[in-house]
Structure 1
Amino acid sequence: MTTEANVAWLVEHGYRHLVVRRGGPRQFEEARALAIETAGEQILHLLHEVLSPDGQELCLYCHSPSRQLKDEAMLEQSCRRFEAGLPQSVDGLSKPRGEKRHDKLCKRLGQLKQKRFGAGQHYRVQLVTDETGQRVTAITGKRGGSPVRWPPTPGVHGLRTNQIAWDEERLWRTYTLLTNLERMFRSLKSELGWRPIYPHRSDGHLFITVLAYQCVPFLRTRLKNTGITDSWATLRDILSVQRRVTATFSQRDGRSLPVRKATVAEPDLMATYRALRISATPGGTKKLIT
């Protein structure tokens, strides 16, 4: 968890860190940014700026077109849900037992804004009351309530680190390496059934963990050298389509002949086998006359 307390602990004990920056302004100037190409052939803009007053920590702002589309789509979805929640308060004004108290409706609108984080600031919602000011007679809403955008810079996220000697590209490549490792461990947790870990089996769990961690990067590195840059989750899906099947044949003498072999590899799987220089028929063909 990249809380201020945890980062301070890392600095106090002399550890290097490269973590996501939580909160704070995101001042991004594309004209000053460095453009690099990611593994997915997408252009990423990186902006390197000093963050801390003592100059011991810096921030790397990263702008991604795909992340911008995601941020904007999330905002639109939040706005649609905010608009869908407004009629519920308006409909209550025309019902005999509907809520009409000013303070209660203000609280309800506040909860709606809090639930649809980021959308409420884009709307001007007014409660029209009677002469007493306690009873609401109408609710009006209009989009365009705040000039402030949320997120303020769509598609931009920040990284913070105390590796001030590293350039922008090295920081980004290192961060993507860390995220790849996290995704890999999340995947392996489910595949190897690491949970729960019992005390009497902890050594075995650790051994399998290290062994699996060594195997996966080795396989991905060899595949990358041949132009295959798929994630481990994608590779697992490609490998999962092949099965070992057993067909049993009856012979004339009454005995049975079970034949066990692998199914034919799909094109993507065949390309993976060729890159790894292994047989496309794992296990070979096994025959047993019974």
Structure 2
Amino acid sequence: MYGKANRVWLMDRGIPTEATLKFMRKNNISYLVGTPRRQLDDYSSELSQKDWEQVNSSVHVKYIEKEGECYVLARSRDRMQKERAMRKRKLRKYLDGLEKLKGYRNYERFYKRLGALQSQAGKAYRCVELNIPGQKERIEAGEFRYHINRQKYRDMIYRDGKYFLRTNQKGKDGKALWNEYMLQCNVEQSFRELKSDLGIRPVYHHKEERVDAHIFVAFISYCLQVTLRHKLRVSACGLTAQAALETMSRIQMLDVTFETLDGRYLLMERYTEPEADQRLILHHLNMDLPLQKPPKIYSSQVKD
């Protein structure tokens, strides 16, 4: 079925090269890929003439066709707020670190600390211009200075929350292409949830059947989590699947053993009674915990 099912290749920005995309166009292979946001300047004039089209409450898109390809500019309000908050936090920490660097006099220590600060700041450090002294044993007071390049900062703000997509598909509007691209984000999110929320991390197995078992357990676990997320969304309780799992994980299973007067042992398998927040989740999910099991009697000590 390879090449015959009209599949669409979804790729994030930085994955495909221009040579790869040219090969795919030549062989009629459909693709929808993310494009670095710095390339927005090449299409800004055409995009500025288009109106925003609403996809949902927080996402708007623009759509143009050029040179045999279609380009989609998407603007996400939630993503914009997240990126700006992250940059603001990193930039503040970076500027605080630069201010402390003014007190450094040893040149080697100065450069090591500067490199660490820029690594922690990520791309935010690019909007700060530095006046760095030349290499010498001792840095004099006032030799190191810095200031914010406001034009670079405005350029960063302009790109916040924006996705730039390109495709060779025809007959699809901006909404359809955006929803199609989101499939890739959903797949990426599922892998993050497997590793973080569910704690099922990649493991190197020596036997093929263990690999199959690992994939099966991961798939079933993720299906259960998706089902839980759907039920929570339908109930409109405002809880995420992760929050619900963390709350319900406080319910513990335990075995209580008593020795009777005639030397036998009474075993009661119990779970802790749900607290108020746990009972509320069960109510929203329209679920009840099973009845506590009846006690069991053994003639000898029950082994662990």
Gaps (5+ residues) in structure 2?
A: 1-10, 299-304
Say if 2:228 is the partner of 1:219: yes
Q: What percent of counterpart residues are identical?
A: 14
How many residue pairs get matched?
A: 267
Say if 2:62 is the partner of 1:53: no
1:13, distance to aligned residue in structure 2 (A): 6.5
1:212, distance to aligned residue in structure 2 (A): 3.5
Paired with 2:218 and 2:99, the residues of 1 have a C-alpha distance of 51
1:243, distance to aligned residue in structure 2 (A): 1.3
Paired with 1:243 and 1:13, the residues of 2 have a C-alpha distance of 58
Paired with 1:262 and 1:110, the residues of 2 have a C-alpha distance of 55
Residue equivalent to 1:242 = 251
Residue equivalent to 2:145 = 141
1:170, distance to aligned residue in structure 2 (A): 4.4
Paired with 2:31 and 2:285, the residues of 1 have a C-alpha distance of 35
RMSD value, Cα:
4.2
1:158 paired residue among 160, 163, 166: 163
Q: How does 1:154-193 map to 2 (within 5 A)?
A: 155-162=160-167, 165-189=171-195, 191-192=199-200
Higher mean C-alpha deviation, range 270-279 or range 235-244: 270-279
Paired with 2:144 and 2:201, the residues of 1 have a C-alpha distance of 54
**Taking structure 1 as reference, are residues 258 and 72 closer, same or farther at Cα in structure 2, changes over 3 Å only?**
closer
Say if 2:136 is the partner of 1:118: no
SS in 1 for 2:38: coil
Residue equivalent to 1:95 = none
**Taking structure 1 as reference, are residues 248 and 25 closer, same or farther at Cα in structure 2, changes over 3 Å only?**
same
Residue equivalent to 2:302 = none
SS in 2 for 1:118: helix
SS in 2 for 1:265: coil
Residue equivalent to 1:21 = 35
Higher mean C-alpha deviation, range 242-251 or range 166-175: 166-175
TM-score by length of 2: 0.65
Amino acid at match of 2:94: R
Residue equivalent to 2:3 = none
SS in 2 for 1:191: coil
SS in 2 for 1:235: helix
Residue equivalent to 2:293 = 285
* Kept after mapping to 2: 8 A contact 1:113/1:120: no
| Cα displacement string for residues 131-173 of structure 1 (whole angstroms, at most 9, x for unaligned residues) | xxxx978425353444222524263231425355444444444
Paired with 2:277 and 2:186, the residues of 1 have a C-alpha distance of 22
TM-score by length of 1: 0.68
Residue equivalent to 1:68 = 81
| Cα displacement string for residues 63-115 of structure 1 (whole angstroms, at most 9, x for unaligned residues) | 325633542442453354245236536642xxxxx449xxxx9x889958964
Residue equivalent to 1:5 = 17
Residue equivalent to 1:131 = none
